Amino acid sequence: MPVRSASGLVAYVNARLIDPASGLDAKGALLTNGEIIADCGPGLFQGGVPSDIDVVDCGGLCLAPGLVDMRVQVREPGEEHKETLKSAGEAAVAGGVTSMVCLPNTEPVIDDVATVEFVARRARKIGLAKIYPYAAATKNLDGKELSEMGMLAEAGALAFTDGTKAIRDALVMRRALSYAATFGAMIVQHAEDPSLAEDGAMNEGEIATRMGLAGIPAAAEVIMLERDIRLVELTGGRYHAAHVSTAEGVDVIRRAKANGLDVTCDTAPPYFALNELAVGDYRTFAKLSPPLRSEADRQAIVAALKDGTIDAVASDHAPQDQDSKRLPFALAEAGGVGLETLLAVTLELFHNNHLSLIDALGLVSHGPAEILGLPAGSLKVGQAADLVLFDPDRPWMVDPDRFRSKSKNSPFDGRPVQGMVRRTVIDGRTVFDRDG
Amino acid sequence: MLLDMADGYVEQNRSLDKRKNLLRGRTVVNLFFENSTRTRTSFELAGKRLGADVINMQVSASSVQKGETLIDTAMTLNAMHLDVLVVRHPDSGAVKLLSEKVNCAVINGGDGSHEHPTQALLDALTIRRRKGRLSGLTVAICGDVLHSRVARSNIHLLNVMGARVRLVGPRTLLPSQVERMGVEVFHDMRAGLEDVDVVMMLRIQNERMRGNFIPSIREYFHFFGLDYDKLALAKPDAVIMHPGPMNRGVEIDSDVADDVERSLIREQVEMGVAVRMACLHALAGPLPNADGGA
């Protein structure tokens, strides 16, 4: 399976090259030399491939930069029964993800240099998708004292976040934004006012009322975003809102961007592909944080993806075992796995004529790479050869039992989707080959 | 239908020989994860009066273990070949979850703030016996609708039976978009009670409240407690109901609650046994037994 010739050169021919970074979408070929992209373009190898170069025939399928997933919960260290760096890595490459960023809400929390280095070391050893950690913005995610952001950034932490917890205290947020900016670092917020959200199990509204479940109002998100934007104005900090889920939430971001603030945001596939009705008969796999919202919110998220207000799509991969989900709805843990459905569900934006194929791909590659400042998400010559070869039209049914992820809690369970990964290449090395 | 069947059981329950052998050989288990006096007792009586073997299980639903206990208990009980399982649980949807794990019939004895269907049935029977009908009546459900499974089940059933339903309460105790459930919403109790046929009071559910929904009992009673003053706005023959247990002096004045002319609260309890007999009959009766059924 590993394709690597004596010369270290591999030619991917007969491909539809799609590079969201440069806007290239054309038939052509790509050449890798060892770990990097050596050449790429429509005219490459038109006269044939020299015999000392190994050839991968792409069969006319799409060859694009590997996906960059900017929000993944890996559960290692601490909850290895739900997911490990290895199982997450396997799930990632099966989903075409070549770089992923993990949240610090592990046990122990990623809030010191040693844990950052542990994750980096483990990821290198496993050799699957590249794993970059976010570090905690506050020690032990307690929302009180700032973590050692400077040293953590030096050790490789990409940005700072309290993971699935909002940074609740306005003063702490102000200082986090301000201090992180000292090192050019970004704060990633789970934008949800805890006092409005903590008793709730799903979106507030008619469905929650009928089901007798306590609701989380959209205002919980909007209030936190509004507050944070004021603090960004105050501090000049760099702010990223994770998984925006409401119509008014994207309005807040839209206004902040129009005012020239250094603000970005992402959403996750459930928020543009599902609505609160997916909770149905107390389906805990559809219990997410933030909760699935109304249909009007879902449509607003699609609109914000189209107009560029939302910069990226992340899987928001949150593995939970059976024991955490096989519970009465209010007691079940929130979250869904998403690494293996990220590409296919994002491609719904293309198949439903909301976005071009290249723009849909940009949301899961170039978009997040730009936000994070990662050298990834493009087919630029000289860049690491992190590639995904996929068939954009190939239909399949989401079957979590076949996931590589240790946990099977997908909100997309049983959904028919289109777009299948055939091969994933990292640093020039094929790490996943569906046909191999 | 269930109400007619229950009507028949009212007479049986008033006679000296209250026992039938319809469910002889059947096992009914009352699985209660939450305290209950009248629901559990009435299911127990209902089962025994139909000749079934009835077992009560009170499981403490404490802390984080409750979910695991739920599934584990379900699997354990399932292995004992029950015929009917009556379940009450403090979490919405828990009964549905449990019903997926067992092979026997499951009756929802109340789940969280979701549903309490047998309470709605006994309320409907109580009203029908007094008023002779349900269709066309106006019923005001007053108080803590937010936490009330009784309110939700009653809204569904009364609407189906052709009654008009009003909800009355402070905004903090009415759930979001509840008007979409086919009800009229009032925040002024006097306006809400005007010309109604039935006043259904709900208990303030302190045990489900996290934080402060009302500033004080005194203030609540002043605006939303049922007394003769407010009741005067309802129809002269309007009746008073309460699913119990009552907080006297909180949502209802003692004199009103004990008014033999107007209050159906004790009759509701009586109807509870009959309705639950009808439910058990409907679910487990058709199965053959040594006596050839009823």
Residue-level pLDDT at B294: 41
Q: Which tokens in the block code for residue A283?
A: 């389906």
Dump strand ranges (E) for A262-415.
263-267, 312-313, 387-397
The pLDDT tens digits for A197-242 are: 988 999 999 999 999 999 999 999 999 999 999 999 999 999 999 9
Q: Is A43 within the bounds of a domain?
A: no
Q: Which residues does A272 contact at the CB level (< 8 Å), separation at least 6?
A: A298, A301, A302, A305, A313, A348, A349
Q: Is A390 within the bounds of a domain?
A: no
Question: What torsion do the CA atoms of A172, A177, A183, A185 make, to the nearest 10 degrees?
Answer: 120
Q: Is A223 within the bounds of a domain?
A: yes
Q: What is the CATH number of the domain that holds A157?
A: 3.20.20.140
- Its sign, for the CA torsion B88, B92, B93, B98, is negative
Residue-level pLDDT at B159: 97
Give the sheet arrangement for strand B164-168, strand by strand: B184-186, B164-168, B138-142, B198-201, B239-241
Tell whether the model's pLDDT for residue B62 goes beyond 60.
Answer: no
CA A380 to CA A105: how far, in whole Å? 34
Tell whether the model's pLDDT for residue B284 goes beyond 90.
Answer: no
- Is B93 touching A (CB cutoff 8 A)? yes
CA A43 to CA A55: how far, in whole Å? 16
Question: Cβ–Cβ of A206/B68 closer than 8 Å?
Answer: no
Question: Cβ–Cβ of B92/A209 closer than 8 Å?
Answer: no
The pLDDT tens digits for A322-343 are: 989 999 999 999 999 999 999 9
Is residue A176 within 8 A of residue A210, CB to CB? The reply is no
Q: Which tokens in the block code for residue B48?
A: 């025994």
Q: What angle do CA A72, A77, A81 make, to 5 degrees?
A: 85
Q: Is A61 within the bounds of a domain?
A: no
* Residue located via tokens 């979408």: A25
CA–CA min distance A336, chain B (Å)? 19
Q: Which tokens in the block code for residue A373?
A: 């400042």
A contact set with B (CB within 8 A): 199, 204-206, 208-215, 217, 281-282, 323, 326-332
CA B157 to CA B155: how far, in whole Å? 6
Q: Is A393 within the bounds of a domain?
A: no
Mean pLDDT of chain B: 91
Does residue B39 have an active-site annotation?
yes
Q: Which tokens in the block code for residue B160?
A: 């189906």
Q: Which of A316, A359, A386, A413 is catalytic?
A: A316
Determine the straight-line distance between the first and last CA of chain B, rounded to whole angstroms: 17
DSSP for A349-368 reads HHHTTSS-HHHHHHHTTHHH
Q: Is A392 within the bounds of a domain?
A: no
Does residue B66 have an active-site annotation?
yes
CA A362 to CA A352: how far, in whole Å? 16
Burial of B266-280, coded b for 16+ CB within 10 Å and e otherwise, reads ebbbbbbbbbbbbbb
Tell whether the model's pLDDT for residue B293 goes beyond 70.
Answer: no
Tell whether the model's pLDDT for residue B65 goes beyond 70.
Answer: no
Query: Which pLDDT band holds residue B61 (cuts at 50, 70, 90)?
Result: low
Q: Which residue of B has its CA nearest to A213?
A: B92
Residue-level pLDDT at B18: 85
- CA-to-CA separations, A255 to A2, A304, A312, B192, in angstroms, rounded: 48, 12, 18, 43
Q: How many CA atoms lie within 13 A of A301 on its CB side?
A: 27
Residues of A in contact with B178 (CB under 8 A): 209
Phi, psi angle pair for A118, to nearest 5°: -60, -50
Residue-level pLDDT at B68: 60
The count of structural domains within chain A is: 1
Look at residue A235 and give its three-state secondary structure.
helix
Residues of B in contact with A329 (CB under 8 A): 91-93
Tell whether the model's pLDDT for residue B64 goes beyond 50.
Answer: no
Query: Which pLDDT band holds residue B289 (cuts at 50, 70, 90)?
Result: low
Nearest to A385 by CA among A65, A6, A61, A54: A65
Q: Which tokens in the block code for residue B37?
A: 């006096």
CA A434 to CA A422: how far, in whole Å? 5
Q: Is A434 within the bounds of a domain?
A: no
Helices (H) and strands (E) in chain A, counts: 14, 19
Q: Is A378 within the bounds of a domain?
A: no
Domain housing A166? 66-372
Residue-level pLDDT at A83: 95
Tell whether the model's pLDDT for residue B280 goes beyond 60.
Answer: yes
DSSP for A318-343 reads ----HHHHSS-GGGSPP-B--TTTHH
Q: Which of B89, B114, B116, B242 is catalytic?
A: B116
Interface A–B counts its CB contacts (< 8 A) at 75
The pLDDT tens digits for A120-152 are: 999 999 999 999 999 999 999 999 999 999 999
Of A212, A215, A323, the CB nearest to B176: A215
pTM over 0.90: yes
The pLDDT tens digits for A358-404 are: 999 999 999 999 999 999 999 999 999 999 999 999 999 999 999 99
Of A199, A205, A281, the CB nearest to B176: A205
Of A217, A282, A330, the CB nearest to B96: A282
Pairing of strands A202-203, A215-216: parallel
CA A225 to CA A167: how far, in whole Å? 11
Question: Cβ–Cβ of B97/A328 closer than 8 Å?
Answer: yes
